[in-house]
Structure 1
Amino acid sequence: MSGSFLHKAVTTAFRSLSVRNFRLFVLGQITSMTGTWMMVVAQDWLVLGLTRDSSAALATVTGLQFTPVLLLTLLGGRLADRFDKRALLTAANLASAMLSLSLALLVLADGVHLWHLYVFAVALGTVNAVEVPTRISFVGELVGTELLPNASSLSGAYFNAARVLGPALAGLLISALGTGPVMLLNAASYLATVVALLMMRPDELQRGGRPASRVRVLDGLAHLRDRRDLVPPLVLVAVIGLFGLNLQLTLPLMAKTVFHAEAAAFGLLTTAVAAGSLLAAFAGTARRGRPPERVVIGAAFAFGVLEAAAGLAPGFGAAMVLLALTGFASMYFAQAANHRIQLGSDPRYRGRVMALYTLILQGSAPLGALFVGLLAEHFGARSGLCAGGLISLSAALAAAAAEHTRRGRTAPAPGPAVPGRPTAGSRS
């Protein structure tokens, strides 16, 4: 009985991998994302080495990398809805490979300066503004609507598997070889995604109808006016993305200034977050439909409590445990919000709606990085985690109160449909 149950559970968790194109996509992405997370650790370590542990410089690089996302992601979503997503992803990964190779060669030649990192951060961020919304919406073309929740959760799983493997490898390689070789490996890793995309069978992609001759960004925003149930999770994503999800900045500061750790130990902190996120991603593979709003709010609440607790961790071991739990809550929240938004939007507008989701989640990073950087500069690295957790917790409580109020208003017997409010048939 237990063997049959286990087999069924595994089959359910990995059912979207039965699609050949998605299998290729996952293999390419695992390799590429592992290289990307190795690059994150190498870049952060290089910045701190060039600036004598300046949190302001680290915040600036983070901010510059995400500023193009803030400015250009809606345009990226428009491109994703207008043009062939497979071709866009191929071009974006080739561009990222060339940029990463150029930076790696500068580092290997011992000719890198801080301003070089600023320039490459902006350039890579510009490519990401197109690549991220295209990649997210492309998953639906790979597997179709029925398998989308499972495929999206598995995408989170491979992303976080890379977050586990990448920082751990980077810490060891930086200690042994320096940051240059790590950046060179990252440049090569993009080619895995390119090869996977080229090996796909285009006739098996589940594309929607032909896009309109004029695909406008404003049409995607107008779609939200008709689907107001998409707005609350987007607001929560905005607040938590702005103040809570700044671990890329807070972790290296905690490692160096609080625990006085070396590169390998810093990699362990990042790996702890990723391990928790990986477990949450696998937990999400059991989801078969659109999650209710209360699941999104509950995950946001848990994330706020755990991040604040991680900021108060008394030692390195306690920090690793609490960061793993924080990683679990952050991924569970992000995926629940993603599924509620993506499965609630019309496929014709999905690229633009998910571009807005990406804009809110990642584009808030420049402002969040400045906030956390200034806070850490004046009050220490712990303050960034504590403040982010408390603000996220407050946002979850406000969202719960708002949801309770809306339920109270709709509690009486059904009456005429209220303009702008989704009907029962439009919600999962």
Structure 2
Amino acid sequence: MVKSGFALYLRYCAGNSVALTCIWMQRVAVLWLAWELSESTFWSSVVLAAQLVPTVVIGPLFGAVADRVRIIPAMVKVQLVLAALTTSLFVLALADLVTVGILIVFECLIGITVSAHQPLRMALVPALVPKSLMPRTIAIDSMVFNLTRMIGPALAGLLIVIVDIPPVLLLGALGNLVLAMVIWSLRNDVSKRAASSGNLLSQLRDGWYVICGSHPVTKAFILTGVFGLGGRAAIDLFPLFAATAFGREADGAGLLLSAAGFGAVCAAAFMALRKKFSNHIAEYLGITGFAALLLMSQTESWLLGLACAGTLGCAASIVGVANQSRIQLSIPDGFHGRVMGLWVMVGLGSTALGTIVYGTISDLTNLRDASAVVSVIGITSVGAIFLKSRE
């Protein structure tokens, strides 16, 4: 008999928290290394986007695959590949052989592998917990994600100053190995997913039909894309914001990301305590987040900048939890892999596009002006979605 319930999810969550802390540290190290090598906001943003772009191209295909395979063995293999890639990057960095081009290649390879991991993870959670607990589970998942985003970058900033960048890259590999072991420990408790019929393209088509046939799901996808393009892309570029707008070093970059993580953790904890969400909470917080970004682009105060970062992180968490919960509760069983794979595609793809937009505008003007322009467009877009949904 296959076990399911909150205890299994908590076991996975514990391993995931360790892995995510290490992965966030690695992410800061990669971005800081790109900045040191190029001293260009544009090329640093390209390195960051290189990990996200593959999700747009092949993420949906992996989503369809997630509905056809055994989740546990597939997830373990993905984690081992991620560990191997990160270890290789560590060795090259230690030998001082890394260039911007090499960083882009490795981030692209990591992005391809992460494209396989995301839909598998989205399909794993419904296999562990009953549907009635999904909103609370998603909120806890977001809380863990953002708590590690708060702790990881702060630790990364300190370690980069103390021991340099390469050792921080190695921690990403160790985190993936920890998660692989935890996932493997669940192998006897998670059943094989129901195999879906048809080829991959027909499965993707069916997934789009599910999305387009449900107004709540369609709205959640649109909001995810809009906020990814402006809000989440801004958060990913906070290390560069700390360096160029506030004149801070790596420790300041970690603090800015940690402030966003703290706001997100508080928001996720609030959402985990609620039994249901307001119908328009994603729109309310989307506008709030873009307003905080606008204020951040105009202030010279470091403390106010940290407060704005925390507010934007809070908004990003609530928008993400609300949208994911709405989708997970609205789609039928057997479609979680492909629909959530498409959702990840929209979220990460819009974030990748947003980082390129930020980098392009920033090289023409500066990061403050780019943030101001994007935040005004974001407020207008989310406001239009809100008014449309009330008609």
- Does TM-score exceed 0.5, indicating one fold? yes
Match of residue 182, structure 2, among 191, 196, 210:
196
Distance (whole Å) between structure 1 residues aligned to residue 235 and residue 48 of structure 2: 8
CA distance in 2, matches of 1:38, 1:101: 14
- Whether the aligned pair in 2 keeps the contact of 1:292 and 1:340 (CA below 8 Å) is no
Alignment partner, residue 309 of structure 2 = 323
Please point out which of 139, 149, 157 is paired with 2:135.
149
Give deviations 1:88-146, integer Å, cap 9, x for gaps: 21111111000000000111112212111011011000001111121122111111211
Provide, for residues 58-108 of structure 1, a one-character-per-residue CA deviation record: whole Å limited to 9, x for no partner: 111122111101101110110111111222211111110000000001111
**Where does structure 2 lack aligned partners over 5 or more consecutive residues?**
none
Q: 1:137 to 1:111 in 2, by over 3 A?
A: same
Residue identity in the other structure for 2:72? R
Greater alpha carbon shift after TM alignment, 193-202 vs 17-26: 17-26
Please say which of residues 280-289 and 331-340 is displaced more in the overlay. Answer: 280-289
* Amino acid corresponding to residue 74 of structure 1 in structure 2: P
**2:61 counterpart of 1:72:** no
Matched, 1:302 2:288: yes
Q: CA deviation at 1:366?
A: 2.9
TM-score, normalising length: structure 1: 0.86
TM-score, structure 2 normalization: 0.94
- Look up the match of 2:7: 20
Which residue in 2 is equivalent to 1:118?
104
Query: Which amino acid in 1 is paired with 2:197?
Result: A
What's 1:211 paired with? 196
Paired residues of 1:80 and 1:133 also in contact (CA < 8 A): yes
Once residues 63 and 259 of structure 1 are traced to their aligned partners in structure 2, the CA distance between those partners, rounded to angstroms, is: 23
User: What's the Cα RMSD here?
Assistant: 1.7
1:132 counterpart = 2:118: yes
**DSSP 3-state at the match of 2:131:** coil
2:387 partner letter: A
1:299: how far off?
1.8
Helix, strand or coil: the match of 1:153?
Answer: helix
Partner of 1:425: none
CA contact (8 A) 2:220 2:323 kept: yes
Aligned partner of 2:245 in structure 1 is 258
Q: Is the 8 A contact 1:21 1:201 kept in 2?
A: no
Aligned equivalents of 1:234 and 1:119: distance in 2? 29
* SS, match of residue 314 in structure 1: coil
Q: Which amino acid aligns with 1:375?
A: I
Q: Say whether 1:32 aligns with 2:6.
A: no
Change in 2 beyond 3 A, CA 1:148/1:402 = same
SS of structure 1 residue aligned to 2:248: coil
Question: What does residue range 322-401 of structure 1 map to in structure 2 within 5 Å?
Answer: 322-401=308-387
Structure 2: distance between partners of 1:108 and 1:394: 46
C-alpha contact (below 8 Å) 2:291/2:379 kept by paired residues: yes
Structure 2 residue matching 1:245: 3-state secondary structure = helix
> Is the Cα contact below 8 Å between 1:236 and 1:395 reproduced in 2?
no
Q: Which residue of 2 aligns with 1:48?
A: 35
1:276 lines up with 2:252 in the alignment: no
Q: Which ranges of structure 1 fall in alignment gaps of 5 or more residues?
A: 1-16, 406-428
Superposed displacement of residue 248, structure 1: 4.7
Corresponding residue of 1:4: none
Instruction: Work out the CA distance in 1 between the residues paired with 2:140 and 2:251.
Output: 28
Q: C-alpha displacement at 1:207, in angstroms?
A: 6.4
Structure 1 stretch displaced more, 85-94 or 172-181: 85-94
Letter in 2 for 1:191: L
Tell me if structure 1 keeps the 8 A contact 2:16–2:179: yes
The one-letter amino acid paired with 1:66 is: L
Query: What is the aligned counterpart of 2:227 among 236, 240, 254?
Result: 240
Structure 1 44/208 Cα, relative in aligned 2: closer, same or farther at 3 Å?
Answer: closer
Larger Rg: 1
CA distance in 2, matches of 1:109, 1:265: 27
- TM superposition outliers: structure 1 runs of 4+ over 6 Å: none
Would the aligned equivalents of 1:32 and 1:190 in 2 still touch at CA under 8 Å? yes
**Equivalent residue for 1:229?**
216
